[in-house]
Structure 1
Amino acid sequence: MKNDMKIAIIGTGGAGGYFGGKLAQAGFDVTFLARGKHLSAIKEKGLTVKSILGDFHVAQAKATDKISEIGKVDLIILGVKAWQIKELSAELIPLLHAKSLILPLQNGVLATEELTEKIDASHVLGGVCRIISKIESPGVINHFAAQPSIIFGKINEPVSAQMQDVKSVFDTVGIDSKISEDIASEIWKKFAFICVGGLLAITGQTLGELRTLEETREMMIKLLAEIHLLSTKTGISIGTDYVEKTVAFIDALPMDSTFSLARDIWENRPSEIDYQNGSVVRLGERYAVETPLNKFVYHSILPKELKARKEK
């Protein structure tokens, strides 16, 4: 891959819109997959990104609502919800050539596994991103907290020239990135952190409010501790001080910070709860690890989630 690589952003939400916008702004050939009013606004007015690091606008953004219209690309960045991976993975195959790479940025620990059910593993990276952002209005992405970054790598494989090419593109456009030789650990670290979003959803709190009230802060710490124990039982090492480090990170975030999981649930949209706290519950049962707080969160949200899916 060279710096003229063709890129597809599958899912132009808070993360896909920001990172794809940075790439398109720098002149890379980027096609955005979007839908509805968001798609119409991008086609008519381009993509606007409001960011704490500086606003920018992509005037001539290429966008479509059909994966089949994108054509062959060098890099696919997946910004869709975790539960959408299974249903669209087969549609990605026509976009691939021999050296194409797919970079999933989903919350949860199942994206790579689900992609490789239909797609040869040689194309599939593991990845996580760190950003707090959302679609503010059609055609407008708002990055309102956290330093954006991407960590990626191959599960149980060394760093390759292809991965270095991807990093070099991110470096060129000013996206903070890192190639990890233990991407499974990075995915689990993000997974545990993002599961705190389930607590936000059921308490109606922001991260600042959650960490300030003694009772909900204790719940947050116990929820993280359950996932930390589960990670050790699955053979993933995320560090003995993971809980303390994560709580310190949460303490440093702006008071009004929230997660997309909580916002989806508050706004009666289908969410990633099955892939977050729901995955903790199922893996806990598989590895004989008690996860009472995650179970409480998951079971409390499940009725509303099922209703949102039925009304989708």
Structure 2
Amino acid sequence: MHTVIIGVGGVGGYFGGKIAHSGQKVTLVARGKHLKAIRQNGLQVKSIDGDFVTHPFMVTDTIDVVEKADLVLICTKSWQVPEVAALIKPILKEDTIVIPLQNGADNAEKVRAVVDPRHVVGGLCKIYSKIEAPGIILHFGHPPEIIFGELDGSTTKRLNRIQQLFDTAGFKNTISANIEVAIWSKFMFIATVSGLGALTRATIGEMYENKETHHILKETATEIYNVGIAKGVLFPKDIVEQIIAFIGKQPYDSTASTQRDIIEGRPSELENFNGFIVTEGKKLGIATPTNKFIYSCLLPMEEKARK
């Protein structure tokens, strides 16, 4: 199978690197200094599970030269998904599978709005990773995992093909019978810690241990739960408690990528996280005061970064 990775940051660089390092055919679509470094030296992955260097089949910034794909992993930021979905159209075959892996609750919907919905499989990943330097990916926390599944909950042969590819690459992967709940559960975690983390400049452990910020974390997650339920997401009743407990199990000094983006003055996924909940809450008539406060306080920084 030919796997094409769109976006070679912490997520695309790690998982694309693992697939390529296992001897499978991988094309990386990257840009700038990162692209140049990978072409010259290969993709270097520094990982708590073991370092490696891999030389993928192709590294390019031009989709026109990419061969038709069997699997496309979209690993960009959430706001870039519609543009990327349009970009990949020329490399899709009849049976090409497209999986968006970035954080956010509606990425599969964004892809399905642009390409034929039959191509799209829901997905998410769990990993702490980032670009350390051009051509170098640093994986510094959490056992890497991709969770994926059909959006209608069905069991299909193509899921087994994807799993075989991921198994060969050597990282944990799980087929989900309800990928929507899995995506929204991950979204609840990441949106809850990201915005408040950017606002407080605190680590996940610091926010969890402090009585006041712990309470705000729970309020944020509860509002996400209420919006999700109104949209038909079949959350388990104790999902907020599960997510808060999961937050408490994260490395004390860990931070979320969106939190780091905001603090460092880069465009972030604020609009796709807390902003998304505020917008959907308005549509559905659900109050989201905590998410609105976090979003509103961070919005000036976001607007400045995007200028």
Indicate the TM-score class for this superposition, using the shorter chain for normalisation: over 0.9
Unaligned runs of 5+ in 2: none
1:131–1:143 Cα contact (<8 Å) kept: yes
Q: CA deviation at 1:61?
A: 6.0
1:233–1:287 Cα contact (<8 Å) kept: yes
2:234 counterpart of 1:247: no
Alignment TM-score, normalising by the size of structure 1: 0.95
2:25–2:56 Cα contact (<8 Å) kept: no
- Correspondent of 1:151 among 147, 170, 176: 147
Measure the CA separation in 2 of the matches of 1:238 and 1:48: 39
Aligned to 2:63: 67
The 3-state SS of whatever aligns with 2:137 is: strand
1:129–1:151 Cα contact (<8 Å) kept: yes
Aligned to 1:162: 158
Measure the CA separation in 2 of the matches of 1:100 and 1:138: 30
2:258 counterpart of 1:261: yes
The 3-state SS of whatever aligns with 1:94 is: helix
- Correspondent of 2:48 among 52, 58, 71: 52
Q: CA deviation at 1:62?
A: 2.6
Letter aligned with residue 79 of structure 2: W
2:96 counterpart of 1:77: no
The 3-state SS of whatever aligns with 1:273 is: coil
Q: How does 1:296-307 map to 2 (within 5 A)?
A: 296-307=293-304
Q: CA deviation at 1:59?
A: 3.9
Letter aligned with residue 245 of structure 1: Q
- Residues 243-262 of structure 1 show CA distances to partners (whole Å, capped at 9, x for unaligned) of 21112211111111111101
Measure the CA separation in 1 of the matches of 2:277 and 2:96: 32
Letter aligned with residue 298 of structure 2: I
Moved more, 186-195 or 229-238: 229-238
* Count of aligned residue pairs for this structure pair: 306
Q: How does 1:132-151 map to 2 (within 5 A)?
A: 132-151=128-147
2:172 counterpart of 1:180: no
Alignment TM-score, normalising by the size of structure 2: 0.97
2:242 counterpart of 1:236: no
1:6–1:30 Cα contact (<8 Å) kept: yes
Measure the CA separation in 2 of the matches of 1:60 and 1:245: 39
2:153–2:179 Cα contact (<8 Å) kept: no
1:47–1:140 Cα contact (<8 Å) kept: yes
Aligned-residue identity in percent: 44
Letter aligned with residue 226 of structure 1: E
The 3-state SS of whatever aligns with 1:205 is: coil
Measure the CA separation in 2 of the matches of 1:154 and 1:202: 36
Letter aligned with residue 48 of structure 2: I
- Correspondent of 2:92 among 85, 91, 96: 96
2:214 counterpart of 1:217: yes
Measure the CA separation in 1 of the matches of 2:55 and 2:9: 18
Q: CA deviation at 1:199?
A: 0.6
Aligned to 1:207: 204
Moved more, 60-69 or 292-301: 60-69
Aligned to 2:101: 105
Letter aligned with residue 117 of structure 1: A
Q: CA deviation at 1:216?
A: 1.1
Measure the CA separation in 2 of the matches of 1:23 and 1:157: 26
Q: CA deviation at 1:46?
A: 0.7
Measure the CA separation in 2 of the matches of 1:86 and 1:116: 9
1:206–1:258 Cα contact (<8 Å) kept: yes
Measure the CA separation in 2 of the matches of 1:228 and 1:126: 20
- Residues 212-268 of structure 1 show CA distances to partners (whole Å, capped at 9, x for unaligned) of 221111111111111112211211122111121112211111111111101111111
Runs of 4+ aligned structure 1 residues displaced above 4 Å come to none
Measure the CA separation in 2 of the matches of 1:148 and 1:96: 27
Measure the CA separation in 2 of the matches of 1:90 and 1:6: 19
Unaligned runs of 5+ in 1: none
Measure the CA separation in 2 of the matches of 1:10 and 1:302: 27
Measure the CA separation in 2 of the matches of 1:104 and 1:6: 16
2:124–2:147 Cα contact (<8 Å) kept: yes
Aligned to 1:24: 20
2:8 counterpart of 1:12: yes
